[in-house]
Amino acid sequence: MTKSLSTIARVDRRGRLVIPAKLKKKLKIGSAVRLKEKDGKLELTPIADPLKKLEGSAKVRVTARELDHLAEVILSKEALK
């Protein structure tokens, strides 16, 4: 059984939460997470970077802006699951 890690984090005026490095590493959190309210609590689930899945799968020229848009579309769909 793995050891639980508990910590307190502050939320700034803009609603940003900094996840402590130890917790981020343990949970393998990259650049995206799914947030879900459940029974008055906030549930956070790491989401794999959608661009990593696509890496090397196509030989097409696209701009960084197009890649960012594609990632946002994929992440939005993931968040709805």
Domain ranges, ordered by start, for the chain: 21-79
**Does position 58 have pLDDT exceeding 70, yes or no?**
no
d(CA 70, CA 54) in angstroms, rounded, equals 10
49 contacts 30 by C-beta, under 8 angstroms? yes
Mean pLDDT across 54-72: 74
pLDDT value, residue 16: 92
pLDDT value, residue 31: 81
Specify whether the backbone of 40 is left (phi greater than 0), alpha (psi in -120 to 50) or beta: left
pTM > 0.75: no
Q: What Å distances lie between residue 64 and 22, 32, 60, 70, 76, CA to CA?
A: 30, 18, 12, 10, 18
Mean pLDDT across 2-16: 85
Q: State the average pLDDT for the chain.
A: 81
Residue of 13 and 1 predicted with greater confidence: 13
Mean pLDDT across 8-26: 90
